[in-house]
A and B are shown apart, each in its own frame.
Chain A
Amino acid sequence: MKELKVDPIKNGTVIDHIPAGRVQRVLAILKPRATDVVMMGMNFSSKAMKKKDIIKIEGRELTQNEVNSIALVAPAAKVSIIRDFKVAQKSRVEIPKRIEGLVSCPNPKCITNAEPMTTIFNLEDSSSRDLACQYCERVFTADEMTHI
């Protein structure tokens, strides 16, 4: 018994290799519509990660932008677009070089926490997952960020 603890989907998106315990955070970012059919699996065993979470969304294909928005909480996630029960497209998430309006600045003294404005973070370099706030100039690791 290796797979299929949740039903396969006909059309939609499968997000695999979410770190165990983070599936709810990923869902909070993706904000499924009230009518979306969503299956969520937690603590599946995984060779690479020991334990992992998984999400299947029926009837909705995520765009690359939507996919990348989960990169901060699930950097190793693999995303498959399913059409007629077959994998039509596979991709990995990538932290965008510039992240606008997605996460809040952890620095309480940052102006972005005081004014009605959009946060902007820039990826320090592509090898790290450190993000620099465009405003207060402080650098944070991806794990310190809170999604808006």
Chain B
Amino acid sequence: MKHLISMRDLSADKTLQLLKLAESLEKDPSQIDLSRRVMAAMFYEASTRTRMSFESAMKRLGGEVIGMVGTSGTSVEKGETLADTAKIMARYSDIIVMRHPMEGAARYVSEQVDVPVVNAGDGANQHPTQSLLDLYTILKSQGTLKGLKLALVGDLKYGRTVHSLAYALAPFNPTFYFVSPKSLRMPAHILSDLTQKGVSYKEKTTVENIIPEIDIMYVTRIQRERFPDREEYEKVKNAYIITANLLRKAKDNMKVLHPLPRVNEITTDVDSTKYAYYFDQAENGVYMRQAILATLLGEAK
């Protein structure tokens, strides 16, 4: 594995290897030493969690971080091409982690440079490190990835995270409930891909009735920036709000996940229940990203 660009490139074996390494790094980070290694963060878009968890991952393994957030004050503002910026960053660093609003940007950069490239989000296309940390979180909270019942809730149309998660879990015999307003349903091409892979799913518009059945509830924010139409956003923005009261009938092992930031879709009274797992999920991002950095830098044993 030279780069990490898309979940499509990742075999089930490689995925399991990364999950295993994340687990072992969580227990003992001292097994990997990335001192004198430099990670370049090329963030063409704002991001707090992804960028900071990458920085934390690199630094906790002894490495250093350089980089940019946004393009103001950089040569990008002067009209430098993405390829040129990336080639320079590659001379300054051992690995590039990049986020860019255009789809396919990370793949393009990976073809232009000699150092490994990690895609930390390319527009609405892929965000493989999020998918991997979600898998790690599900594995850690349930003890297995196999045969789980999962509800994916919220914006299933524009939500890149839930699309990759559905694909990432497909080999593990899941049952999905896709819960969304009608205007934000899971895209038809993804549903037909899942059918082809033999994955069973049901589409729902409300979440209440399935709560007693599920192992994982994955909630996503309905993102204003994905809507071309303000009116459409106003109509659906409060469609699914998860409260502690709503979770009364949940199974003991049920966990609520969310890629964060949340706005109001999970009320704060859920935080103190045994079902809340989204902050652990964010922490897991550090271990997963440590596993990815170590693997791509050739330090994984």
Contacts and interface: CB of A to CB of B under 8 A. Distances in A.
Contacts of B126: 137
Contact of A109 (B6, B82, B102, B189): B102
Interface centre among B102, B107, B189 (most CB of A within 10 A): B102
Interface in B1-39: 6, 8
Interface string A85-127: 0000000000000000000000101111111110000000000
A111 B83 contact: no
B81 A137 contact: no
Contacts of A136: 103-104, 122-123, 125
Contacts of B123: 109, 136
Contacts of A133: 104
B276 interface: no
B289 interface: no
A111 B81 contact: no
Contacts of B125: 136-137
Contacts of B212: none
Interface in B122-157: 122-126
Contacts of B100: 111
A111 B189 contact: no
Contacts of A110: 102-104
Contacts of B189: 139
A115 B108 contact: yes
B82 A135 contact: no
Nearest to B82: A115
Interface in B33-89: 81-83
Given A116-B81, A137-B126, A111 B105 contact: yes
Contact of B107 (A109, A135, A138, A139): A135
A114 B102 contact: yes
Interface in B162-187: none
A24 interface: no
Contacts of A107: 103
Interface in A4-63: none
B198 interface: no
A107 B102 CA distance: 10
Contacts of B124: 109
A13 B54 CA distance: 59
B104 A135 contact: yes
Contacts of A135: 103-105, 107-108
A110 B122 CA distance: 9
Contacts of A134: 104, 107
B194 to A, nearest CB: 16
Interface in B228-257: none
B158 to A, nearest CB: 12
Contact of A137 (B6, B83, B101): B6
A6 B124 CA distance: 51
Contacts of A139: 189
Given A135-B103, A136-B125, A111 B6 contact: no
Contacts of B122: 111, 136
A23 B130 CA distance: 48
Contacts of B81: 115-116
Q: Which of B100, B123, B189 lies at the interface centre, i.e. has the most chain A CB atoms within 10 A of its CB? A: B123
A107 B81 CA distance: 20
A-B pairs, top 7 by smallest CB distance, nearest first, are: A135-B104, A136-B103, A111-B104, A111-B102, A136-B104, A111-B105, A109-B103
Interface of B: 6, 8, 81-83, 100-105, 107-108, 122-126, 189
Given A136-B103, A137-B6, 19 more contacts: A109-B124, A110-B104, A111-B103, A111-B104, A114-B82, A114-B102, A115-B81, A116-B81, A117-B108, A133-B104, A134-B104, A135-B103, A135-B105, A136-B125, A137-B8, A137-B103, A137-B104, A138-B103, A139-B189
14 contacts: A109-B103, A110-B103, A110-B104, A111-B82, A111-B108, A114-B82, A114-B102, A117-B83, A134-B104, A134-B107, A135-B104, A135-B105, A137-B103, A137-B104
